[in-house]
Structure 1
Amino acid sequence: MEPPSALFASNGNDDRADSPSLPKDISLSINYLPSKFSSGLLSPGAQRRRGKSDLPKQGGGREAFRTNEPRMPAEGDEDYDGLTGGWFGGKEGGHTRPRMRWNRFKWTLFIANICLSVYALTGLIFCLMTWFDVFERADIVRAGNRTELIFSTAAAAAAAVTSVFGWAGILLNNRSFLAFYTFFLWICFALLVTPGYLTYKQRTFNLEGKLNAQWSRNLGAAGRLRIQNRLHCCGYYSPFVEATVSQTCYARSILPGCKAAYLSFERQALKIWFTTVFSLVPLQLFIMIAGLLCSNHVTYRFGKGMMPKAYRLNLNSMAIIMDNYANQLAEQYGWDVASDVLARSRSNLGGDSPLVATPQTLSGLSGAGGCVHDAI
């Protein structure tokens, strides 16, 4: 037994995958039961919102989630994919649109990303200045605290790159960029607390013993020489104990040992280091929470739209849905009921004259694209 054919479509098949004659942009919503779309057509007294147009609305904007205001993006909506409009919500091509307003979620992201950018760039500048030996005693940090300095530089660089993703997502309303932004914030948090933990542990637990081991085992002759030159000392306890010979440090030098000065410098530097890092943790947590809660609400539309693009209705899809619906009505109730429902649907959508569906008129329609203007 052959399956029943659609009354309006000439190909007689509803599945776009099996029918190469159907357009490729047919919505997947045609696979749903037509009864889901029939409540408004069967109701003789359809309720209409006061002060509203009878035509269905499209597009987004700041009123997309107003009470009893179902809206979904149109095909060329600048807010749908995030990259089809201008930098600040304007539409390309010189067409003027109403001025777009930022919602509170977007302002929260904006303020949070400003904080991230400021502390990331500030930290990165200080780390680079330390690497380039700009400060007077920066070489001591490069020799004695190299691991902590590497982690701090990585944290600052990662935060700076993450802030760039944040600006791209905020200014372009692009939720894909904001998804990466929210994920990278967790990586930045891990890189941020690592040098803070290392410096805190080193200063709190037996700092003197760690410096003794570092001087004798880890620094080497070059590292000890750099510290001696910066602290103006010679040897660890005296010029005769683990000293690196230089123009100012030799057997009869009057310079003191480096232990006291090096220990004092490390205590002060490590305290400033972990205090600064841990003071940024609440700010980083605020930025992470703001990203989690606000990145998907950068506009008043949830996600990229009310419906995925593959399921979005268009004229061709509505034609096929009406074909299926009229076919079911004709089989169950006859041609008169089908004609009356189609006529009522056209009048509700603002048509000029109803369509009288008869076997002769229905069979005379040639395709899905041609029946759109007659059926709806």
Structure 2
Amino acid sequence: MIVADDEKVNRINTPPPVIHHRQPIRSSLRLSNTKHSVQSDVSKPIAPHLRSCGRSDIVRQRVGFLGWTIARWILLLTNTMLLVYGCIFLVATCATYGLAYERAIIIVIANKEILAVSFTASLFCFLTSIVGYIGIVNKNRRYLGYYALFLWVCFALIITVGYLGFKHRTWNLKAQLGVRWRHDYTPKQRELLQDNLHCCGFENPSDHAAYFLRCWAQSLLPGCQHKFYLFENAFLLNTYTIAFAILPIHVAVILASILCSNHVDVVFGTRSRPPIPYLGEFKDWREWEQAMHKQK
């Protein structure tokens, strides 16, 4: 009985066995990697305004004239070109709507579709250039992304102007003018066209003429067909020629926005890849595979 009591006391006084859990290798690698990354980050100089300043693993682009990169100057040049021809056509279309020159009333009446699309395209080019200037000055890639997207809309509108001018001129222009004169134009519009072109009626004074002080049934004024055709033929030719001539310049502006928007400063493309925790001390899979081949 005494021996049994001593065994019970020894069992009570003995501490429980300590069980050592084996930690997985992956977690230990993470801890070591984080410690290594923290030590490496502390040892590298970090500027208050730019965290990558002074790091040896970063190769920076050369800064061009006046502290701007070459890509930024290219963006500024191409965006200025966009602003120039956008403003020119915006002023021209506004002057046409305001009847600022002699033949403006003919364009407003006979080419209202082309005039509306031209005004929309020029206004959109102007607003897109403003967005581009904001992105270039502030080095804001988000605005430059919107700028590159809006340029495609401007491209579509410019093509539409050229297509409308080419279609109206080549698809039997004389027949189109006759149909419009006889069926589409109001008497007031015919009177304005006759007064501007100094003619009466379409083929003669008795062919759908709008009579007023200068035009009556026995008038000696010629019909408007010839003068109207000559003006429309020249106007449509100039319209689609100018529109298609601008397209290569606009394509160059689009290419510049795509290629140079990310390089508006010297930071893009120069930062090293962030470390991948489960790769340990290796930066990518290629280095890990090379190390595995060397161990074999």
Could you tell me the TM-score, scaled by structure 2's length? Answer: 0.74
Tell me: CA distance 1:114–1:242, structure 2 relative to 1, closer, same or farther (3 Å): same
Question: Corresponding residue for 1:115?
Answer: 81
2:151 maps to 1:162: no
2:105 maps to 1:139: yes
2:58 maps to 1:69: yes
Question: Corresponding residue for 2:198?
Answer: 232
Distance 2:175 2:54 in 1: 64
Q: Partner letter of residue 34 of structure 2? A: F
Tell me: CA distance 1:239–1:158, structure 2 relative to 1, closer, same or farther (3 Å): same
Distance 2:111 2:32 in 1: 71
Shift of 1:150: 0.1
Q: Partner letter of residue 176 of structure 2? A: K
Distance 1:274 1:115 in 2: 20
Distance 1:108 1:117 in 2: 14
Residue deviations 1:202-221 (CA, integer Å, cap 9, x gap): 10121111111111111121
2:139 maps to 1:204: no
Residue deviations 1:28-85 (CA, integer Å, cap 9, x gap): xxxx94443344689xxx9xxxxxx954334449x969973279xxxxxxxxxxxxxx
2:150 maps to 1:184: yes
Task: Give the one of 238, 243, 246 matched to 1:280.
Answer: 246
- Please tell me whether the aligned partners of residues 139 and 265 of structure 2 are also in contact (alpha carbons under 8 angstroms): yes
- Please tell me whether the aligned partners of residues 187 and 210 of structure 2 are also in contact (alpha carbons under 8 angstroms): yes
Which secondary structure state, in structure 2, belongs to the residue aligned with residue 280 of structure 1? helix
- Please tell me whether the aligned partners of residues 46 and 53 of structure 2 are also in contact (alpha carbons under 8 angstroms): no
Distance 1:227 1:250 in 2: 15
Which residues of structure 2 form unaligned runs of 5+?
A: 1-28, 275-296
2:186 maps to 1:220: yes
Question: Corresponding residue for 2:258?
Answer: 292
Question: Corresponding residue for 1:150?
Answer: 116
Question: Corresponding residue for 1:20?
Answer: none
Q: Partner letter of residue 133 of structure 2? A: W
Task: Give the one of 36, 49, 62 matched to 2:33.
Answer: 36
Tell me: CA distance 1:182–1:67, structure 2 relative to 1, closer, same or farther (3 Å): farther
Shift of 1:253: 1.2
Shift of 1:306: 5.1
2:267 maps to 1:267: no
- Please tell me whether the aligned partners of residues 203 and 224 of structure 2 are also in contact (alpha carbons under 8 angstroms): yes
User: Which protein is bigger by CA-based radius of gyration?
Assistant: 2
Task: Give the one of 95, 120, 125 matched to 1:129.
Answer: 95
Distance 1:67 1:298 in 2: 22
Shift of 1:195: 1.2
- Please tell me whether the aligned partners of residues 143 and 226 of structure 1 are also in contact (alpha carbons under 8 angstroms): no
Task: Give the one of 236, 244, 248 matched to 2:214.
Answer: 248
Q: Partner letter of residue 194 of structure 1? A: T
Tell me: CA distance 1:66–1:249, structure 2 relative to 1, closer, same or farther (3 Å): farther
CA RMSD of aligned residues (A): 3.0
Tell me: CA distance 1:70–1:209, structure 2 relative to 1, closer, same or farther (3 Å): same
Question: Corresponding residue for 1:354?
Answer: none
Q: Partner letter of residue 148 of structure 2? A: T
Distance 2:54 2:168 in 1: 54
Distance 2:219 2:33 in 1: 95
Of all paired residues, the percent bearing the same amino acid is 33
- Please tell me whether the aligned partners of residues 45 and 54 of structure 2 are also in contact (alpha carbons under 8 angstroms): no
Tell me: CA distance 1:102–1:41, structure 2 relative to 1, closer, same or farther (3 Å): closer
Shift of 1:167: 0.6
Question: Corresponding residue for 2:25?
Answer: none
- Please tell me whether the aligned partners of residues 64 and 70 of structure 1 are also in contact (alpha carbons under 8 angstroms): no
Task: Give the one of 141, 146, 150 matched to 1:175.
Answer: 141
Aligned length, in residue pairs = 240
- Please tell me whether the aligned partners of residues 151 and 191 of structure 1 are also in contact (alpha carbons under 8 angstroms): yes
- Please tell me whether the aligned partners of residues 64 and 301 of structure 1 are also in contact (alpha carbons under 8 angstroms): no
Tell me: CA distance 1:33–1:253, structure 2 relative to 1, closer, same or farther (3 Å): farther
